[in-house]
Chains A and B, each alone.
Chain A
Amino acid sequence: MPASELTATATLRKDTWWLEPLLIVLGLGAFVVYTTWAALQGAHYEYKNYLSPFYSPTLKPSWWPFSPAILILWGPAGFRLTCYYYRKAYYRSFWWSPPACAVRDARSGYTGETGFPLILQNIHRYFFYVATAFLIFLWYDAIYAFVFDGRFGVGLGSVIMLVNVALLSMYSFSCHSCRHLCGGCLDRFSSSPLRYRLWRIVTTQNERHMLWAWLSLVSVALTDVFIRLLSMGIIRDVRFF
């Protein structure tokens, strides 16, 4: 087809197609900047019985001179980086491949996820296993957040940590790889009724995977902010009982 208005323009769309990628750049960008800064601090990550999710589990080997968060954050970071939802989000918003539907790609060449390094996205299910292991520690932390001087109590931090780990769990267990492993890999559901039931439950939440991805992203950052501010003495915890 000869060059014309039809092929020369990047898009004929007239709506605000650029708004969604812009919001994602701002949202994800802010999270990455804050998380990197918080992980590099190596301080103010715990307050009494509260522990920041960026530092759980806290590994402090004597030979490691840097922040303990660096030793563990590869796990949850890898899970989010290879997540099918986030892939859509950052391929569209940061790589412009494509920035929106029926809007031209920013780059001339394209090989998708067929070559290195993007072929590594295929190990997402292993990051799902890693993220699940992290959840065990985070649930322990959330329960421990209700123990004040050996007695049960509830503080604002306890509630925040509980909500955070609940949202992280919803995000992890609504994952597409989890859905596949629970039962999506089967061709005959009738031969595995339990797995079929599990697959249906995961499927209902998988439809909300984007929602859980964003809610858990915000909650994990806010939990760290809250504990950091407590630790720095800028705010005080509220004890309900």
Chain B
Amino acid sequence: MPDAVMRLWRGDVRGGAFREYRVPTEEGMVVLDVIHKIQATQAHDLAVRWNCKAGKCGSCSAEVNGRPRLMCMTRMNLFAAGEPITVAPIKTFPLIRDLVADVSFNYQVAKTIPAFRPGPGEPDGTFRMMQEDIDRGQEFHKCIECFLCQNVCHVIRDHPDNMPFFAGPRFFVRLAALEMHPMDEAARAEYLRLKAGLGFCNITKCCTEVCPEHIKITDNAIIPLKERVVSEHYDPIVWTWRKLTGRK
């Protein structure tokens, strides 16, 4: 097989540039394999975050030829032989070094999510759930927190000023899982509208396009949440009814 031509971002907060490496490749390699080979043979100080190499830990997120991907799930035969392959760190979050970005913004957002609040349950102290009640939430639980959706979301990627007011797609998935949970009784519409900035999302579906777990983030989480917020805040009939009756 011909050598792979890899253009890797090398640098830190002070600056950097793409540097080219030529690497012998073998059948079945993924981009992360090639990165490891470069690290082992040509650039021992290359910083790269990874863990499971199986698409389940969500650590090796990067931008390969400009597209947000997991490096461990991006096969080398996706690219034309000999074609230079650009690998850059995820762009939305502050760069630490080389291919590693600081994703702690997401952990700060996670702390603000109103927690699961179960209702009183059955008189016998249990809470019975049917399969159909929890099927919908299973999709949301597949999230591996790779933050590719957060990275590609233009609301914060191109407008970092919005970061304090926008939770991002990963957390809309989390909020959808909580909101649609049959036991949960917490009200999150106000949080979604005012704190999580659901209205910033213009449903251009990039989060769905890049999700390695194929979660239909926009159709199954964000839009249903938007509809719930509409029922709470923007429905003129409900609004008129509340004004007339004084009910909340």
Contact = CB atoms under 8 A, between A and B. Distances in A.
Contact of B133 (A2, A12, A188): A188
B180 A187 contact: yes
Contacts, number: 147
Given A114-B199, A176-B227, A187-B184, A122 B158 contact: no
A6 B66 contact: no
B155 interface: yes
A106 to B, nearest CB: 9
Contacts of A185: 227-228, 231
A101 B94 CA distance: 19
A122 B200 contact: no
Interface stretch (B50-58, B205-213, B240-248): B205-213
B106 interface: no
Interface residues of B, number: 61
The secondary-structure label for the interface of chain B is: mixed
Nearest to B199: A114
A127 B247 CA distance: 26
A61 interface: no
B224 interface: yes
B182 A105 contact: no
Interface of A: 1-2, 4-7, 11-15, 84, 87-88, 91-92, 97-98, 101-102, 104-105, 109-114, 118-119, 122-126, 176-177, 179-180, 184-185, 187-190, 196, 206-207
10 contacts: A2-B13, A87-B202, A92-B204, A105-B159, A113-B201, A114-B199, A122-B226, A122-B229, A180-B228, A196-B132
Interface of B: 9, 11, 13-18, 63, 65-68, 86, 88-89, 91, 94-95, 129-130, 132-133, 136, 152, 154-155, 157-159, 162, 179-182, 184, 197, 199-206, 209-210, 218-219, 223-224, 226-231, 233-236
